[in-house]
């Protein structure tokens, strides 16, 4: 059961962790895939699957490039992803506020 009003793409433990970590970067910055993996302590396969779902929703942008001869993969939140994360956080806070004070509509 997903609480009403919560974005199902983000409201899942692994993907929420990915989006939260990426949201800590400044706008215009991106993380390398191995670093994101280290921060989240996820396997490469698991992280790839969840990034795939987030990319499908156009919440993250995955850029494959080269640094010298070494291939590098960068991951960043898109502006759409950042907005979805902000909306999600606001919805969670609203749920908590609603549960705390029943006098508020």
Task: Give the C-alpha distances (Å, rounded to integers) separating 97 from 16, 94, 105.
Answer: 20, 5, 10
Does position 102 bind another protein by CB under 8 A? no
Residues 14, 22 contacting (CB under 8 angstroms): no
DSSP SS3 for 9: coil
Which residues from 8-27 bind another protein, rule CB under 8 A? 11-13, 16-17, 20-21, 23-27
- x-or-dash string of contact with another protein, 72-101, rule CB under 8 A: --x-x-----------xx--xx-xx--x--
What is the closest distance, in whole angstroms, from the C-beta atom of residue 95 to another protein in the complex?
5
Q: Which long-range contacts (CB under 8 A, 24 or more apart) does 95-104 make?
A: 95/3
Does position 2 bind another protein by CB under 8 A? yes
Does position 62 bind another protein by CB under 8 A? no
């Amino acid at each position: 059961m997903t609480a009403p009003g919560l974005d199902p793409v983000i409201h899942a433990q692994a993907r929420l962790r990915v989006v939260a970590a990426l949201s800590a970067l400044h706008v215009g910055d991106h993380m390398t895939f191995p670093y994101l993996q280290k921060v989240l302590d996820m396997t490469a396969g698991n992280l790839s699957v969840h990034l795939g779902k987030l990319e499908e929703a156009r919440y993250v942008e995955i850029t494959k490039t080269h640094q010298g001869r070494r291939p590098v993969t960068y991951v960043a939140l898109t502006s759409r992803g950042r907005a979805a994360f902000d909306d999600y956080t606001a919805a969670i806070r609203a749920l908590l506020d609603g549960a705390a004070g029943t006098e508020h509509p």
